[in-house]
Chain A
Amino acid sequence: MENTSQKNINNEDQSMSQDTTEKSKVILESKKANVYYGDMHAIKNVNIKMRENSVTAFIGPSGCGKSTFLRTFNRMNDYIDIFRKEGEFYINGKEIYQKDVKVEELRKTVGMVFQKPNPFPKSIYENVAFGLRIQGIKNKSVLDEAVEKSLKQAAIWDEVKDNLKKSALALSGGQQQRICIARALAVEPKVLLMDEPASALDPISTAKIEELIYQLKENYTIVIVTHNMQQAGRVSDRTAFFYIGELIEFGKTKNIFTNPKEELTERYITGRFG
């Protein structure tokens, strides 16, 4: 276990040979990323590149820092008093912790879906239109169009199109989560960060979310944190394995699951710890 820390620098490019996303642009990138919560060193020297229109899964045991790392890319950790970071984080080539970056603008580019479905206690329509409304858009036909488009993208339009005025809280958990995805899509982000989006859902709803992720990657770059290794295997192009704050291995999902380079990765994916 001790000799794993330096190996994560180059393991991205080696496994890329037959990857379809190989030549696309790098959208998310971190360089020598370190994150601290008070005295705790939550993320240790992580370098990673994620490409356009790909799905990257972050896996690893609880408390390994994968959610923390995910949240540094839309600066959701900023509200935590004891949070501190070192290194650089890039979205589309722009360092996002620089002074001239407006965090509200950043979050419009980098949408987020949370672990527990968290629709607002408003109607379905108002939930999806929220992001546009806070940008000051009042034109009804623009809003109508965006709401319909987003709900269709989130594969829930057919289920709710007749009840757009109904409270989003009246829907099932799986439907609520797709409303939350539609809400995030409505502002047309480039990146979608998903923090265990299916962990609170039943298997059927989970399958729907996974199918949706597969469709969404045509237009979005997706990063998903998951505890469920089968899920990572099903939905992602690449997988990053984290362990106690370190990026142990990162590569094509197929390779990570069939032929991991690190013993630690192998032990984790075969269920010997975690």
Chain B
Amino acid sequence: MKIREKIIEGGLAFSALITVLTTIGIIWVLLSQSLVFFKDVSIVEFLTNPEWTPLFTNKNYGILSLLSGTILTSSIAIAVALPIGLTIAIYLSEYAPKGFRTYVKPMLEILAAVPTVVYGFFALTIVTPYLKTIFPEIAPFNALSAGIVMGIMIIPMISSLSEDALFAVPKTLRDASYGMGSTRYQTAFKVLVPAASSGIIVSIILAISRAIGETMIVAIAAGQQPNMTMNPLETVETITAYIVQVSLGDVPHGSIEYRTIFAAGLTLFIFTFILNNISFYIRRKYQERYE
């Protein structure tokens, strides 16, 4: 019996260890390969050169033109998802009839379960042609269409997590607000949203982090042309899309072109790592909030 307990315990510890080891492994690979890359390319050039052309004969290694693509598409996504997601969250937690919430919330979460490749061709074949009727000069591959569709994809992240945060605000605060003669609208925006703000911020950060890491939609719909621009109608390439491009291409292993994806990956990892840590920090503060 004792041995059985030990085996189970060991098995559980091993499972936990696998995830930790995987993370360490990923960081190790990223760091070691990037270090080799940065022997050939200076960090200053990497961070300041406005061109990213490692696959051309005239090689430039400026991550900014990829980073701008990532920031542009993610910003569009958040601009779409934040107002819609937050409105849904407030409606579901404060206005919707009780039964409605239990049915609609899972349905919304289906949006997050749609394969991203489906979103990708949805952006390319439906959204872009539609946008062309509004902006005739829009490029066939463009940041706007990819950003909008990515925004739709992350709506449930914001609406669901924000709704949880709003729903968790103690009933005593609602009582206090209504007892002072507040309307529903005032209660929602002057009491509940501020009280749930840290939870809402966490949901936004996680959604941003998801948008930054999103690959398929941008690879399909935003294009593969590094472009340091903030014009949403142009073709851009995000860090993730570049990694896909090189991974699928015929770049020889061990070459400097090949190592660029590790440097790009490391940049991406640092970004999402920081964002996730901020959200972790806010969430921990949030737990000691009401008492």
Interface of A toward B, CB cutoff 8 Å: 74, 76, 79, 104-108, 111-112, 114, 116, 118-122, 130-131, 133-135, 169, 180, 183-184, 187
Q: Does B179 contact A (CB under 8 A)?
A: yes
Q: Does B22 contact A (CB under 8 A)?
A: no
Contact flag A121-B290 (CB < 8 Å), given A114-B175, A130-B180, A183-B180: yes
**Which residues from chain A contact B177 at a C-beta distance below 8 Å?**
120, 130
**Which residues from chain B contact A106 at a C-beta distance below 8 Å?**
181
Q: How far is the CA of A130 from the CA of B290 in the complex (A)?
A: 18
Q: Does B59 contact A (CB under 8 A)?
A: no
Max count, chain A CB within 10 A of own CB: residue among B170, B176, B186: B176
A257 to chain B, nearest CB (A): 30
Q: Which 8 A-B pairs have the closest CB atoms?
A: A107-B181, A118-B172, A112-B179, A108-B181, A104-B181, A118-B176, A131-B180, A134-B186
Q: Is the interface of B mostly helix, strand, loop or mixed?
A: helix
Q: Mark B129-150, 1 if CB is under 8 A from A, else 0.
A: 0000000000000000000000
B290 touches A134 (CB 8 A): no
**Which residues from chain A contact B182 at a C-beta distance below 8 Å?**
104, 134
* Chain A, Cβ-Cβ closest to B187: A134
Q: How far is the CA of A76 from the CA of B170 in the complex (A)?
A: 16
A107 touches B183 (CB 8 A): no
Q: Does B278 contact A (CB under 8 A)?
A: no
Q: Mark B160-192, 1 if CB is under 8 A from A, else 0.
A: 000000000010110111111111001000110
Q: Tell which of B178, B191, B291 touches A107, judged by Cβ atoms closer than 8 Å.
A: B178
Q: Tell which of A105, A111, A119, A169 touches B179, judged by Cβ atoms closer than 8 Å.
A: A111
A107 touches B180 (CB 8 A): yes
A184 touches B172 (CB 8 A): no
Q: How far is the CA of A158 from the CA of B93 in the complex (A)?
A: 39
Interface of B toward A, CB cutoff 8 Å: 170, 172-173, 175-183, 186, 190-191, 194-195, 289-291
A120 touches B191 (CB 8 A): yes
A74 touches B180 (CB 8 A): no
A134 touches B179 (CB 8 A): no
**Which residues from chain B contact A121 at a C-beta distance below 8 Å?**
173, 194-195, 289-290
A114 to chain B, nearest CB (A): 6
A122 touches B176 (CB 8 A): no
Q: How far is the CA of A119 from the CA of B170 in the complex (A)?
A: 11
List the count of A-B residue pairs having beta carbons below 8 Å apart. Answer: 65
B175 touches A76 (CB 8 A): yes
A-B contact pairs, 10 of them (CB 8 A): A76-B179, A111-B179, A118-B175, A120-B177, A120-B194, A130-B177, A130-B190, A131-B181, A183-B180, A187-B181
* Chain B, Cβ-Cβ closest to A186: B180
B180 touches A184 (CB 8 A): yes
Q: How far is the CA of A58 from the CA of B80 in the complex (A)?
A: 53
B179 touches A114 (CB 8 A): yes
B290 touches A74 (CB 8 A): no
**Which residues from chain A contact B179 at a C-beta distance below 8 Å?**
74, 76, 107, 111-112, 114, 184
**Which residues from chain B contact A111 at a C-beta distance below 8 Å?**
179-180
* Chain A, Cβ-Cβ closest to B197: A121
**Which residues from chain A contact B194 at a C-beta distance below 8 Å?**
120-122
**Which residues from chain A contact B173 at a C-beta distance below 8 Å?**
118, 120-121
Q: How far is the CA of A128 from the CA of B186 in the complex (A)?
A: 16
* Chain A, Cβ-Cβ closest to B176: A118
**Which residues from chain B contact A184 at a C-beta distance below 8 Å?**
179-180
Known A-B contacts: A121-B173, A121-B290. Give 18 more (CB < 8 A): A74-B179, A105-B181, A106-B181, A111-B180, A114-B176, A114-B179, A118-B173, A118-B176, A119-B176, A120-B194, A121-B194, A122-B194, A130-B180, A130-B190, A131-B180, A134-B186, A169-B290, A180-B176
Contact flag A116-B172 (CB < 8 Å), given A105-B181, A107-B180, A183-B180: yes
Q: How far is the CA of A14 from the CA of B170 in the complex (A)?
A: 44
Q: How far is the CA of A112 from the CA of B177 in the complex (A)?
A: 10
Q: How far is the CA of A107 from the CA of B178 in the complex (A)?
A: 8
Contact flag A76-B181 (CB < 8 Å), given A121-B290, A134-B186: no
**Which residues from chain A contact B186 at a C-beta distance below 8 Å?**
134
* Chain A, Cβ-Cβ closest to B289: A121
